[in-house]
Amino acid sequence: MYYIDETNARQHVYPTYGRQFASYRWYKPIFTGALFAAIYIALTLGGIMAVTIGAGVATGDTTGTYTFNKMLEIVSGGYDTMDMSDPFQSVLQLGSLAIAIPSLWLATLIVRDRPMSSYSSSRGGWSHKVFWKCVPVAFIINGLPIIINDVIIEKGYQNFTVKFTVLSFILLTILGPLQCIAEEYMFRGFIMQTFGSWVRIPVIAVILQALIFAAGHPYNRIGQIAVAASGAAFALSAWFGRGLEVSAALHVVNNMTIFYLQGLGMATVSSNTSVSGMLIDIGIAVVYVAVIFWLSKKTKWFDEVRKDDVARVNARIAEKKAKKAAKKAARAAKKAGTTVFEVAGNAGSAAADAVSERVESITEASPQAAYDTDAADVVPEFDYTRSTEGRSAEGGKHFKH
């Protein structure tokens, strides 16, 4: 492990992190998003069928009509009908969003654009250490004010009633954080990093994802302004903390505090937000972002890099390119060598033809070679002794053989 310092901090800007990968192409996030949506819808439909069948078996509703109508009623009722002390609602409302995590993982695995860990953080994946450091900070800034307002100021303790069952409490405790983390992967991970990679300006990516985040929540106008502010706070904290663990801590603390208070009868959830509630939410968001920014400058909480995804992926891509180039060079060399042999062979054939022509011309000009060898089909023997003696006598020289 190593730490981000001033020399490489610029390379680890979370909102624009996706563009640092050598595999990045502007259209790949579109493929990933489309595949993510398809997988998410398929898993959601499968989950609804499983819940309908399971609830039908438990209640005796063999046709599943009652269960399906109850689902529609819960979904259409917005936050006014939300009750996390009901196990059915926990599975439906929270589980249906938690499915986004494996959906995005499968989409990235198929498209092979970049690893899932790059959506978690620009520090090499999800860090439990960073998450659990930020949870107490988020609880002090966000959780305590909610408890003080709902329990003491609004006197929710007068309505204290344990509405939880053992099953609903367990389901909420498991699915609640997963639902919050899933939304972080969708909005601060995939959507913000996609916009950030396209426009290369982190602030624009923060604003765009916050607007989309607000549009996905069924609040009134004032409530959507508050949600947009929260979405911007989540994004800014993820930016300054270089990962989703920082924003997920605030998201989990906020939602789980409300859900637990509701299950104890001391808080209600409504789709209508007041101006005072909006201002409180905005104030909490501003304070949390300011504290995270201060921590990012004064501590090394968010600087520890578990693995450098960019370096690892880019090195693998460079290695593949080098192997491909080596194979191409080997094929070119092999082809060049074949050409050399072909040229040499052609030259040798030409030389052999020239020699044959020369031999034929000599044979035609030599009386001694005028033997008729066609009939005998043998090569005539040459009397070297007579020829040598004759030349020796004529030339005054004697050759021994």
pLDDT tens digit string along 51-92? 777 777 777 776 667 777 777 777 777 788 888 888 888 988
Looking at this protein, which amino acid is placed at residue 154?
A: E
Q: Are residues 218 and 71 in the same domain?
A: yes
More confident residue, 363 or 257: 257
Find the DSSP H helices in 242-308.
244-263, 275-298
Q: How confident is the model at residue 392 (pLDDT cuts 50, 70, 90)?
A: very low
Residues 40 and 176 in one domain: yes
Residue 378 burial (CB < 10 Å; 0-12/13-18/19+)? exposed
Verify that 221 and 260 share a domain, yes or no. yes
The reply to whether 313 falls in a domain is no
Are 261 and 152 in contact by the 8 Å Cβ rule? The answer is no
285 with 366, same domain: the answer is no
What Cα–Cα distance (Å) separates residue 319 from each residue in 277, 313, 314? 55, 10, 8
Residues above pLDDT 70, as percent of the chain: 82
Question: 243 has which bridge partners?
Answer: 121
Per-residue pLDDT of 134-154, as tens digits, reads 999 999 999 999 999 999 998
Residue 173 burial by Cβ neighbours in a 10 Å radius (0-12, 13-18, 19+): middle
Residues in Cβ contact with 249 at an 8 Å cutoff, skipping those fewer than 6 apart: 131, 134, 135, 137, 138
Does residue 373 form part of some domain? yes
* Rg (alpha carbons) of the chain, rounded to whole number: 41
Write out the residue range of the structural domain in which residue 54 sits. 13-307
Do residues 126 and 202 both lie within one domain? yes
The reply to whether 246 and 335 lie within a common domain is: no
Q: Are residues 223 and 359 in the same domain?
A: no
- Name the pLDDT band for 340 (thresholds 50, 70, 90): low
Is residue 202 domain-shared with residue 348, that is, in the same domain? no
301 contacts: CB under 8 Å, gap ≥ 6: 130, 133, 241, 295
At 397 the pLDDT is 45
Of 260, 276, 307, the residue that ends a domain is 307
pLDDT at 398 over 90: no
Shared domain for 287 and 340, answered yes or no, is: no
> Residue 265: CA atoms inside 13 Å, Cβ hemisphere, count?
8
Structure tokens at 15: 């909102």
pLDDT reported for residue 227: 96
Task: Please say whether the beta carbons of 171 and 87 come within 8 A.
Answer: yes
Are residues 331 and 254 located together in one domain of the fold? no
Which of 118-122, 130-134, 302-306 is predicted least confidently? 302-306
Residue 141, pLDDT score: 97
Q: Dihedral of CA 165/167/171/174: which sign?
A: positive
Lowest mean pLDDT among 3-7, 28-32, 110-114: 3-7
Give the residue, 284 or 341, on which the prediction is more confident. 284
pTM: 0.81
For residues 258 and 338, membership in a common domain is answered with: no
Q: 98, 175 in Cβ contact below 8 A?
A: yes
124 and 221 fall within a common domain: yes
* Count of domains forming the chain: 2
Question: 259: exposed, middle or buried (C-beta count within 10 Å: 0-12, 13-18, 19+)?
Answer: buried
Tell me what the mean pLDDT of segment 300-314 comes to. 90
Q: Each residue of 158-215: pLDDT tens digit? A: 999 999 999 999 999 999 999 999 999 999 999 999 999 999 999 999 999 999 999 9
